[in-house]
Every structure is written in structure tokens, then in C-alpha cells.
Structure 1
């Protein structure tokens, strides 16, 4: 008989017992693992999270998210709380050693997802919010202080073995003996970072994309309300010392300096060096307090396989990239969003497990495009030869600079045609007098949105039943609220008219599956059922 978490016993308060059965076991409680757990939990799936650190890793690493990721956090219910410290970006610029502008990225724009294009944040603040969300969800159980040392993949489940080492008494509690833990789940997600045990246990190799650069990193808390710098966010592409300056939310800043030829990681790791480099920017301990200082290597590596049967790799376990576009953590959260909705359909019996084979097929092209963009952006400040730097600068002055790579639309479980694979619009709507962003008012998941009429009216009963099985939201959005949902700012009417659409079908990860005229909707829904491998007569 197949393993089912529905057969599991529970504690009196409803939480699973430590060796109980789960739908999904997640190794790693960083932002990617926490996001995956939160998304699965909100869909009603029972999740165990195993983390070797007994508490939150209270140091900054990632510092940037974009509008797509903010929409994911909105779905989890804490996007507004994140803005208590996160800041919307003005711009991200690259300047040469003379201060001349080479190029800039329009991070201050409005994103299609209903949020500003880009935000800078302090990662511990994000992790506090993610953990607080997840720990309050009765579907999610945490096993902190346990290190996974093995797992066994069976036909219908994965068995995970972990151990918490013995510990002496301390301020946090009495002495503890070593404890062993065995967890069973239908699927295992390895979100355990660049040195992933899950990846190594599977014997999966990583392809090296050939980028490697050592940088010293100082993350600092601001001691003054203002810390004046020539510009707020970006890169000095100065061959004498390439330098990065970034805000990390409202109270912290990041500074990075490339190591020059002849400098070693050991000598540059001395905190006294950090203060010398900060002094070069006119900053002292009166301005800042260093929270973390270390030397790390920027590199780009991608796992050759992101799935082995019932086991999946997400985030840094599957891929690492240089930080020059701020897309490392964002890409891991996209992994979680992509995989979770597919797991949901499989766990609910809507689709076959073959749908999970599309995870890497869809995510890797997007990830490679972002990695290539990050590498090419990073080559600009990493130019250390003065003559080569001058040729680079002249190419930008003359307009002859090489164009940076473009991230293409998603391909895979999408329909051919206009808009397929693009991020869908989220704008303000109102229903029953309650205004807000679409996902807050209507709900997330699969959506069918029309500006031309009631989408359900053109569908056959079997198609409506299929959408019901997907838990899809099917709505008519109009400026006058004729369909019950008001297009508050006319954003949907304008967006659809510009693209020649009457209706759009969107996936739970916010990507457009297909769009067209209202008369085309039945064919779009049938195509969705076929591409999901689902029985549309359910």
C-alpha cells in the first residue's frame, strides 16, 4: 500500500510526531527552504523542515529581491511587514574610476507584479518574517539542530536520517544527549546551500561556468541617519580597486572590494583592512559598526541534475552565481515557487508525477540567463588592467559596448502564443467594496482573468470542473465592476488592450500559461489540461 501522510498519528495539539509521515521533507531552513515550506503549508501539505543550526543564522548574505519575489512574500502574508526595513531601489549604476556613468539598471521602475521593481533588504529581517510565518502554520514542523547524514529513496517515499549532537548545559537549557531522528516524506527537497549534503549524497556534479573572483565583504549597521556617498547603489568599475556600495534595508549597508593581484584572502580578512578601505570612502566607526566581514569567492556553478527521482535540489544546492544582479536568492525562491505548485497537483492526485520532470526543464534556462547576465555585469568591475578598462569605458562612451544578455520568457508548461511565459500583471482590484492587490482580494493559485466578460460562461461543464479541481480563480475584471470585480485603476483594461487579449490564464507561480480572445478560452483550458497531463473530466 503506498505511503500516505494521511495515515500518520499526531500529537494532541495536532502536530506530527517526530518520526511521522509527511508529504515533503525539506533539508535547510534558509530563505529558499522556508519559502518552499510556507508555500506547501498554505496549500495544506504536511511539511518537515530539518536544519542543522539550532537557531536562525542571524547574519546577512543576500541583500536584494525583485517584484516577482515580493509577490511571493505577499502570498505568504508578510510583504507589507518586510517594508518596515526594506527599501525600494532608486537605481543600480556602474561607474568608472573617474565617476563617469557606464550603464545603469532601472530598478526604480514599477514592476508588473504590483510592487516596485527592486528592493534592498537585510536578510536576517526577511528570515525572521519567514520563520515566524512558518512556525505558526500547524502543517509545518521544524527539527532544528539536526544534521542530515543519510537518506534512503524508496518506491513511494524518502526516509531521512538526522542526528542532533550531544550538548552541555548552557544559558539556553540543560545538557542534552545525542538524538537521532528518522523522517518519512513522499518527496525530499534539498535547500541546504552551496555545500549541499543532499547533492553530494546523490553524487550530482556541478558544471563550472568559469567565473571566479575574490572579494572582501563588509556588512555594517549605520550609526548615523545619513551615510553620505557619491552614489547610493552600484559599482565603481575602477581597476585600482573595484568597489560595490549597496543599502541593506534602512539600517545597514554593504561594501565590497575586489582583491587585487598579490593580495591573499588571509591578509584581506583582517578587520583592520576593512576599516582602511572604509576610510578611503570617508567612513569611520562613528558612521558604521561592522556586523560581518569576510572574504568570499564569487563563482558560477550549476548542478547537472536538479532532480533524482523523489529528491529535488533548490537554490544554492542547485546553482550559484556572482552577486552582480542580486539574483541568487531570487532564483532559489523561483525554484520553490515553480516546484511547489507542481508538487501540490501531484500530492492531490490531479496530475501524474511526470509533471515534476518539468521542474529543471523550466527553471534551468531562466537560471542560466540570469547567471550569464550576472557574469557579464560582473566582468565590468572585475577589469583590473588599466588599458583594458579604458577600452571598456570608451566602448560605453561611443555606444559600441556589448549588449548584456536578456532573460527570455519561461518555456515549458505554457501555451504557444502571445504573452506565454511572461510574468502576469497584478494590479489593484475591488470586490464587495474591499480594494487591494489582486492576490489579496481574489486569491493566488491558477487564475483565469477576463476583461471582456464572464470566462465561465464560455466553458463547458468538463472544463469548469477541471478548473475547480485546480482550485482556479475565474473572474471578470472591469472598470465598472460589471462582473463583480472592479479594475480600480484601469490597469487590466490597458494591459490587455495593449496585447490584444480578452482573457489570460496564469499559473500559481505568476507566469502566463496562455492568453487570447474569450472565444479561444476553451481551447486554452484544454491545452492546460493536456500539458499538465491531467484528466480534464475530473
Structure 2
């Protein structure tokens, strides 16, 4: 065992918990923060003593920001830097593509840069506030034994010695070299690229970009990115003739950075050589053990989606574990974690590889053909609008999983209102005049949202109690300036994102704690929607005939 942990004179110990999280990086911390909100007894172990105070992941999109909001962080909990656009610059044609990264999507900036240690510090501070979460640092996982009813983990702690943790479920958030994944015998599938890349993080540059530049071609391609805290990052692809040791020397780094200013004035925070990977596990879970983040999938850096993909895992899995452990849902709903998350993770890996083709073409001829073709088709206005609007990145929705499939949209207008899609977020105002984000109004519940209608008025007392016993709450979202709504669950739509942009007046949606829509329809069907959701949570994942009946009912 690595680490040289001295266990002499330390008595073996046993910890019993609902969930064991292995790994306390940003994804493990996000899972812990979410389980903390849901009130689940959780133990976290991590090999490190503390946070590695070095830049690593640097980019996050609006969806990642929304998930850390779900985990309890405000938008000022860690420093961010907004990105205006991403430019693709050819060595032959100059700028041949541009993606607009400005604006707000679902209540958050479309793209920001951040300093990972600050994000981790904020998440850990959130976790520290929950009495149901305990953390063991400098603790290594030695083995796992899943007996079908619980999982017994053998661990070695620097402070407490050899011990065991008995958990009902285990989450492996221990990174690309995951011990949990190796114990499970789950293999990565995909490609590891042969090229080495030099990454350099620096501070105190004379000018700060408000955009990302990708220098594309076969001759030392790579990105230049702004960062939070007056930081900037460069990545340079090394050639076959480059010596890794030589490329990391200060004089060579100064030579590479000289086009952007006087290297003598720059503070180099980090330099490292790495290879990137495009790999995913063939399954994200086995028995009572689940993999999240880089333990389950690794995305090439060109799309900036590595950490965000892990946050999606955290949001999707955490509420399902909580509902199962509270007895609200059957354990079989946990199968939907792999069903929902793995296809999207693989899709994002493929998209990153696609962009990588334009960034690092294999030859000068390939570069000229690829970059010239993109530049040419952008002369067509609809194509230009699609590319420049960053429409290449797919919406995060599910083709199958824990929701009710429907052939029609029930009067829903936009992405985010159909089952299997994410419910939109925007500013709302409550009955006492306070403005807040709609996700904060939804809270950590299953929610029935009435657009312009009060769900309570169409339900019996028995239906209301039934829904609340499922971890459910109710919201009414009315049009702006709709006065007279005095109940705490009533809100005004301040931006028009819900009425009429999301759906017609009078529609009702069931929204999961991770903001995915379960089902939607007319308010007259609300009692049946409660019954359908309960069947889905308790029986649907084991009863395909019941699924077909629900599908036929709403189709």
C-alpha cells in the first residue's frame, strides 16, 4: 500500500453509513453536498490531506453552474470569469470559425472560467455544514465486498489505522485512475492519444483576454484560455522531436509564451506534460457501487466538458440514492443512472473528438481542407447562425430512463418542457416580493409545477398527502404582475421563460430534483400524473408492460 501509513497500536474500527463516497475532488464533494441536502448519512474518504492548490479544470458552462447551485453554492461562492466567445484560428486562413459564449442560459452565464481549488473549497465548506456527512482524509480504499445487501469497504486511515466501512451504497469519485473501478473489474473503452501536450498556467500578464483562442493546425496547435484570478492558460501539442524534459524547462516555457508578453513579468503557477483520452466505461455501475466523473468517463479537453460531465453524474445519481434510501423509490430506479448518463457522456466525448479533428489535423493538407471547408460553409447564413450560436453542443436530455415517454409535447413550446428534458430556470418573485431563481423555489423535491394554475385546486386531500409522502412539493408559476397570489408556493414569472415561452397557460409538469421533467400534461390530468409518477418510482423499472401502458396513455 502506498502512503506509508503506520497502523501500529491503532485498533480496528467500523463505520456504518448509508453512502460511502471514495474521492473528495470536486465531483465527490458535489455528491456529498447533494446527499447532505437530502439528509442522507454519508461518509467520504480521500487519500489526500487537503486540496491540491494548483489549476486543473478551468472551464464550466451554465449547466455546471446550475448543478453547483443545486448543491447549495451561490454564484459568488467562488470567483468566475465570463468568456465572450471562442475563436478557431487556422495557420492558413486566420479565424475560420467562432462560437458565441456570451449571454445567460437557464439563469447562469453560458461559459465561465474558474480556479478549481476555489470551487473545491466552496463545495467542502458546504459539506462541512451538514451533520450527516463525515470526511476521513489521508484514507485509502483497500477492497470492497458487495454482498447484495450492503458493501463492506476495507480502508486504511493515517489517523485511525485499519478499519471497515459498511455502506448501503458506494460512489466511486476517485478519478481517472479509480481504485473503485479497478476493484469492480470495469474496463475503459475508447482511445488514448499518443501525443504529449504541455500545459502552462500563468498570472500577471499585461492583458487579459475575454475569449478563448484555439490555434489549429498540424504545427504545435493548442488553446489559449483566460482564467479567474488574473490567470491564463496555454496548451501546446508536442512534436515527435520534442524532449519532454526540455519542454518543461523555464527557458523553453519563456520562449513559448513570449508572443503574449514579457515572460520575465509572468508568474508561472504550473507546467505539466500530459496525454488526453477519449474513454468511457462499458457500465457506470455494478451491484451497489457506482462510478461518477473521471472514474466513469474521460473527455478530451477541447470541449471543456470534463468536470461538467461529472457534475451531471452527481446530480442524476444523488437524488435517486436519496429516494431509495428513504424508501420512497425502489432500488431498481438506480439502473436509470447508467441508462440516462452514459449515452450523453459518450456523445460529448465524440463531439470533443470531432472538434479535436479541426484543432489538431494530421497533416497540412488535412488542415487546409478542413479549415477551408468550415470557412466556406459559414458563408451560408443559416449555417453561420448555427455554428456561431454554439448549437453544436447538444441539449442535455434523455432518450430513455426514469420519465414517461410521450409522442407529443402537450402544448410545450421549447426544449426543457418535454419529459426527459431539463426544466428551464429563470428569475421568479415570491408572494412577499422576494426575487429568486426558480430552482431555489423548487428546492430538493419532486415538484408539481402548475403554469398559471394552482395544482392544489385540482387535487383531493388524499392526492396532496400522497404526493408529499413521495418527497413532493407544489409550485404555481403565474405571469408577471399576476397579483393576489399569497401562498408561499406561488411565484411570478419575471422573464417570460415559463409563460408563454415554455408552455401554454394551464399546463402542469412533474419535475425531478435534478430538474429533469418526468411527465407533463393538462391540469385535469394531474391526479393521474401523481399515480403515474409513483408507479414509475416503485414499479415501472421492473414492469415493462406497465411502461407500455403509461406510454400509450399519454401518447
- TM, length-normalised to structure 2: 0.85
Q: Cα–Cα, structure 1 residues 534 and 193, in superposed 2: closer, same or farther, change >3 Å?
A: same
For 1:147, which of 140, 147, 150 is the aligned residue?
140
Q: Cα–Cα, structure 1 residues 235 and 519, in superposed 2: closer, same or farther, change >3 Å?
A: same
Paired residues of 1:372 and 1:405 also in contact (CA < 8 A): no
Paired residues of 1:207 and 1:303 also in contact (CA < 8 A): yes
Paired residues of 1:370 and 1:407 also in contact (CA < 8 A): no
For 2:168, which of 186, 194, 201 is the aligned residue?
186
What is the Cα deviation at residue 501 of structure 1? Answer: 6.9
Corresponding residue of 2:496? 490
What is the Cα deviation at residue 257 of structure 1? Answer: 0.6
Q: Cα–Cα, structure 1 residues 445 and 534, in superposed 2: closer, same or farther, change >3 Å?
A: farther
Q: Cα–Cα, structure 1 residues 217 and 108, in superposed 2: closer, same or farther, change >3 Å?
A: same
CA distance in 2 between counterparts of 1:341 and 1:101 reads 44
Corresponding residue of 2:72? 77
CA distance in 2 between counterparts of 1:515 and 1:100 reads 48
For 1:24, which of 19, 33, 41 is the aligned residue?
19
For 2:244, which of 242, 260, 265 is the aligned residue?
265
Corresponding residue of 1:473? 473
Mark the runs of 5 or more structure 2 residues left unpaired by the alignment. Answer: 1-11, 410-417, 541-555
User: Is 1:428 aligned to residue 417 of structure 2?
Assistant: no
Mark the runs of 5 or more structure 1 residues left unpaired by the alignment. Answer: 1-16, 166-175
Q: Deviations over 1:309-332 (max 9, x none)?
A: 111111111110101111111111
Corresponding residue of 1:108? 102
Paired residues of 2:197 and 2:273 also in contact (CA < 8 A): yes
For 1:138, which of 127, 131, 137 is the aligned residue?
131
Partner SS for 1:409: coil
- TM, length-normalised to structure 1: 0.87
CA distance in 2 between counterparts of 1:28 and 1:76 reads 17
Where does 1:97-496 land on structure 2 (aligned, <5 Å)?
A: 97-98=91-92, 100-112=94-106, 114-165=107-158, 179-209=161-191, 211-220=193-202, 222-224=203-205, 226-227=206-207, 232-286=211-265, 288-399=266-377, 406-407=394-395, 409-411=397-399, 412-417=401-406, 418=409, 419-431=418-430, 432-478=432-478, 479=480, 480-483=482-485, 484-496=490-502
Q: Cα–Cα, structure 1 residues 271 and 530, in superposed 2: closer, same or farther, change >3 Å?
A: farther
Partner SS for 2:105: coil
Paired residues of 1:447 and 1:474 also in contact (CA < 8 A): yes
Q: Which moved more, 1:402-411 or 1:354-363?
A: 402-411
CA distance in 1 between counterparts of 2:403 and 2:466 reads 17
Q: Deviations over 1:72-111 (max 9, x none)?
A: 222233232235x211221122121256322233321321
What is the Cα deviation at residue 236 of structure 1? Answer: 0.9
Q: Deviations over 1:40-60 (max 9, x none)?
A: 011111111100001112222
Partner SS for 1:103: strand
CA distance in 2 between counterparts of 1:137 and 1:352 reads 26
Paired residues of 1:65 and 1:119 also in contact (CA < 8 A): yes
Q: Deviations over 1:19-77 (max 9, x none)?
A: 33111011000001000011001111111110000111222211111212212222233
For 2:87, which of 93, 100, 111 is the aligned residue?
93
Partner SS for 1:54: coil
